[in-house]
């Protein structure tokens, strides 16, 4: 077909574990000379090597594609959603300080997105190609945290069976995120301060000095000022960590973000769980807008995750929400609304007294000067949900 003239041609199947992937073909351009059996053995040997190479290439490109998909998913997971003035200010500040080698202290209630902001700073910094390593300082007992942070030498303590790098070394060139810094013990605080000041660490059980190159971002949901007053947190470390302070406001102070976040998580989980859920009902959104969200965005993410799983409809209805959020909501929304009718007033009064008395019916009935069965009947009549 190519017009090439030859008197000898030879082909061997490129076979991998019984599957024929390709054919390897060789032409003999030498005048009239013929291939012989030795050549065939050689070509067959070559074909089996080619087969391995092709299989590796195939898996490599598959891995590459998967990697791209995973990166997209992680990016989606790590995007900070929000248009409120409060969150825009946080993002702006984070991006502004990112290029500079300063230590940033992130504070805010649990679930407000401190780790997400820490990642944003890392991703917007010149260190973005290097690792972002997070350490949760509260999850580890005091004696382990040192080895976790600074590493250890084999035999340094019982259980130290090999040499191990600490997080400071792992984060080399990148960013180390010290989470829940307020829960860290006093002696570890002193060691961290020394590393921050000198840039030098020693693995546990070794006196070799290792120079580190990390940018530290710290976070806490505790009030560090209060811990300072109680002498539970070192003042010198506080000032060292607090070169730039970013406070992340709770969700209840940025309610305008609620619909955006809700839709974001809805899309995330309905594609993750392959459910075809399109939106939230008006009542659900209303409830979300009135909820206090003590667990902030993490709480909302979990509520939506559960309701996507539980929902049989294309729209999330009140009935698919976890009990907990339905309870807290209904009474609060109800109490905050103007009640016109006498019955409404009675329901409001009873609910309020029940709440104030820790849902103790006997006590509430006494105050109302009615019997317990009468109170029970009214609770039933008005559909008051007992929270304890």
* Number of helices and strands in the chain (H, E): 15, 13
Residue 115 lies near Mg ion (rule: CB under 5 A): yes
φ, ψ for residue 40, nearest 5 deg: -60, -45
Residue 301 contact partner, candidates Mg ion, ligand ATP, none, CB within 5 to 8 A by sort of partner: ligand ATP
By beta-carbon proximity to ligand ATP, the closer residue of 110 and 267 is 110
Closer by beta carbon to ligand ATP, 234 or else 301: 301
Closer CB to ligand ATP, residue 298 or residue 361? 298
Which one, 115 or 148, has the nearer CB to Mg ion? 115
Q: How many residues bind Mg ion (CB under 5 A)?
A: 2
The C-alpha atoms of residue 226 and residue 67 are separated, in whole angstroms, by: 45
Specify the stretch interacting with Mg ion by CB under 5 A; choose among 16-24, 36-44, 115-123, 339-347. Answer: 115-123
In angstroms, rounded to a whole number, what is the distance separating the alpha carbons of residues 83 and 333? Answer: 25
DSSP secondary structure string for all residues of 73-115 = HHHHHH-----SHHHHHHHHHHHHHTTS---EEEE-STTSSHH
Q: Which of residues 225-254 bind Mg ion (CB under 5 A)?
A: none
Among 5-13, 16-24, 47-55, 179-187, the segment contacting Mg ion (CB under 5 A): 179-187
Please report how close the Cβ of residue 264 comes to ligand ATP at its closest, in angstroms: 6
Q: Which residue in the shown chain puts its C-beta closest to Mg ion?
A: 115
For the CB of residue 179, give the shortest distance to Mg ion in the complex, in Å: 5
Burial-class residue 29 by CB neighbours within 10 Å (0-12, 13-18, 19+). exposed
Q: Give me 176's structure tokens.
A: 């180390």
Residue 113 binding partner per list ligand ATP, Mg ion, none, with a CB distance cut-off of 5 to 8 Å that depends on partner kind: ligand ATP
Q: Do 216 and 196 form a contact (C-beta atoms < 8 A)?
A: yes
Rounded to a whole number of angstroms, the minimum distance from the CB of residue 248 to ligand ATP is 7
Among Mg ion, ligand ATP, none, what binds residue 153 when CB lies within 5 to 8 Å by partner kind? none
Smallest separation (angstroms) from ligand ATP to the CB of 17: 42
Provide the H-helix boundaries in the chain.
37-78, 85-97, 114-123, 142-150, 167-170, 186-198, 224-229, 235-241, 258-272, 282-290, 296-310, 323-336, 342-356, 361-368, 372-382
> In this complex, which beta carbon is closest to ligand ATP, that of residue 19 or of residue 324?
324
Dihedral pair phi/psi, residue 19, rounded to 5°: -105, 130
Residue nearest to ligand ATP (CB): 113
Shortest reach from residue 191's CB to ligand ATP, in Å = 23
Nearer to ligand ATP, 80 or 353 (CB): 80
Shortest separation between residue 169's beta carbon and ligand ATP, angstroms:
24
Q: Which positions lie near ligand ATP, rule CB under 6 A?
A: 77, 80-82, 108, 110-116, 221, 261, 297-298, 301
Whichever of 296 and 307 has its CB closer to Mg ion, that residue is: 296
User: Which residues are within 8 A (CB) of 233 and not within 5 positions of it... i.e. 6 or more apart?
Assistant: 182, 189, 224, 227
Cα separation, 227 vs 43, whole angstroms: 75
Q: Give CA–CA dist 149/14, Å, rounded.
A: 51
Task: Report if residue 299 touches Mg ion, rule: CB under 5 A.
Answer: no
Distance CA 103, CA 228 (A): 19
Give the nearest distance from C-beta 103 to ligand ATP in angstroms.
17
- Residue of 240, 238, 219, 221 whose CA lies nearest to 102: 240
Decide whether 251 or 316 has the Cβ nearer to Mg ion.
251
- CB of residue 311 vs ligand ATP: minimum separation in angstroms? 20
* CA contacts within 13 A on the Cβ side of 233: 21
Residues that bind Mg ion (CB under 5 A): 115, 179
């Amino acid at each position: 077909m190519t017009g090439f003239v030859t008197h000898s041609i030879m082909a061997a199947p490129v076979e991998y574990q019984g599957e024929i992937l390709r054919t390897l073909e060789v032409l003999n351009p030498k005048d009239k000379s013929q291939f012989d059996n030795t050549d065939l053995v050689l070509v067959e040997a070559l074909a089996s090597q080619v087969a391995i190479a092709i299989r590796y290439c195939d898996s490599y490109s598959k891995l590459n594609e998967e990697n791209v998909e995973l990166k997209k998913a992680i990016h989606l997971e790590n995007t900070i959603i929000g248009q409120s003035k409060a969150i825009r200010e946080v993002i702006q500040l984070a991006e502004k300080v990112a290029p500079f080698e300063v230590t940033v202290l992130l504070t805010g209630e649990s679930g407000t997105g401190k780790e997400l902001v820490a990642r944003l700073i890392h991703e917007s910094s010149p260190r973005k190609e290097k690792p972002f390593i997070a350490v949760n300082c509260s999850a580890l007992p005091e004696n382990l945290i040192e080895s976790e942070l600074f590493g250890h030498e084999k035999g340094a303590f019982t259980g130290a069976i090999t040499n191990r790098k600490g997080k400071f070394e792992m984060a080399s060139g990148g960013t180390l995120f010290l989470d829940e810094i307020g829960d860290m013990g006093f002696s570890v605080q002193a060691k961290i301060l020394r590393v921050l000041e000198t840039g030098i660490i020693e693995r546990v059980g070794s006196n070799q000095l290792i120079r580190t190159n990390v940018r530290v971002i710290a976070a806490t949901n505790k009030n560090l000022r209060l811990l300072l007053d109680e002498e539970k947190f070192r003042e010198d470390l506080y000032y060292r960590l607090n070169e730039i302070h970013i406070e992340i406001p709770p969700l209840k102070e940025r309610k305008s973000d609620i619909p955006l976040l809700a839709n974001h998580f809805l899309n995330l989980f309905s594609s993750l769980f392959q459910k075809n859920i399109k939106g939230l009902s008006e009542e659900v959104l209303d409830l979300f807008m009135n909820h206090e969200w003590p667990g902030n965005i993490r709480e909302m993410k979990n509520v939506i995750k559960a309701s996507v799983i539980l929902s049989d409809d294309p729209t999330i209805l009140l009935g698919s929400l976890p009990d907990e959020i339905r309870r807290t909501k209904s009474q609060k929304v109800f109490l905050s609304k103007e009640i016109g009718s006498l019955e409404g007033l009675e329901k409001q009064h009873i609910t309020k007294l029940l709440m104030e008395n820790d849902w103790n019916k006997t006590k509430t009935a006494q105050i109302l000067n009615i019997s317990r069965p009468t109170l029970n009947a009214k609770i039933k009549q008005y559909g008051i949900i007992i929270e304890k």
